[in-house]
Amino acid sequence: MTVTLDPAVKELLARSAPSEVPTGPLTAPELRAAFAASWRRPETVEEVASVTDHVLPSGVRVRVYLPDAAAPVPAFVWIHGGGWTIGSIDENEVASRAVCNAAKVAVVAVDYRLAPENPYPAAPADCYSVVEWLAAGGAGEAVDAGRIATGGESAGGNLSTVVSMMSRDRNGPPLAAQVLICPVYGHPDDGFRSYVDYAEGYGMTAGAMRFFFEQYVSDPAQLNDPYLLPLRADDLTGLPPALVLTAEYDVLRDEGEEFARRLTDAGTQVEMTRYSGQIHGFYGLYTDLPASPRSHKHVASFLTRVFDRRV
């Protein structure tokens, strides 16, 4: 059943037309700079026990948020969104800190390489290297190297699942779960109805997604690669339990929900929730929306159950 936009979302759209990505004269680096300049860190954020930046042997930078805990805590690898082209670990400060405290996990935010300077497969390679680093004990004694989950929003949700597939296929580190928020799993031409219904006027646009694909994909043949688009995968068995959160007014809604169904059919435990009245970015970017802290608690509850082996 369709409901109306959340009043807070209506106000946000009227005030700022968020994430309306210009696809005309701006280059990706210019767009990236404009996006970074438009983001402001909230005046107050939750305190956590520590926040440290690390550069991995692979060259990838990560930011590790640790909660106040006596024993080693599980790791939650967080992969930011931005169409593989814009964004950084900075924009998800609120969500990262909230989940760190509520779930008592080390949130490991990944600053992966961006397209078009570094097109596919640079981003998944970077994210997978973080999982390997954690499994090898790279984050130190405060982090349990044997308990790792992945998660991300939008392109980050895509990369979270891709990392899960890579770990499965390479006999890599076992992953406890994947948290998939408004994820990208298909292409704008795949025929999903949400690409028609919410093409413009709700923040993330169909045109913006086409622009992002143009940056990320250097060869059209790559669109058939399941490590780029997991909906192309013939085999989705053996993947970790998943939490899938979609937004009602989002071009990516239908592909996220279709992927949740396919995961379920493949035998994966899936918890799927559509956030009514919400738009793309409600979780990590637009944290002043009332639904945002609710979604952080949702993710924290899922991770707590996963690591307590109750999922």
- Kindly list the catalytic residues: 154, 250, 280
Inter-residue contact 108 to 139 (CB < 8 Å): yes
Cα–Cα distance, 173 to 133 (Å, whole number):
10
DSSP for residue 92? G
Task: Please provide residue 88's backbone torsions phi and psi, each rounded to the nearest 5 degrees.
Answer: -160, 180
Show the tokens assigned to 303.
């991770």
Cα–Cα distance, 156 to 78 (Å, whole number):
8
Show the tokens assigned to 61.
């930078």
| H or E stretch covering 144 | strand 143-153
Task: Please provide residue 283's backbone torsions phi and psi, each rounded to the nearest 5 degrees.
Answer: -80, -60
**Pairing of β 143-153 and β 73-79:** parallel
Cα–Cα distance, 201 to 19 (Å, whole number):
10
Kindly give the residue spans of alpha helices, DSSP state H, lying in 201-281. 206-216, 253-265
Enumerate residues 6+ apart whose C-beta is below 8 A from 218.
116, 119, 120
Inter-residue contact 88 to 77 (CB < 8 Å): no
Inter-residue contact 178 to 160 (CB < 8 Å): yes
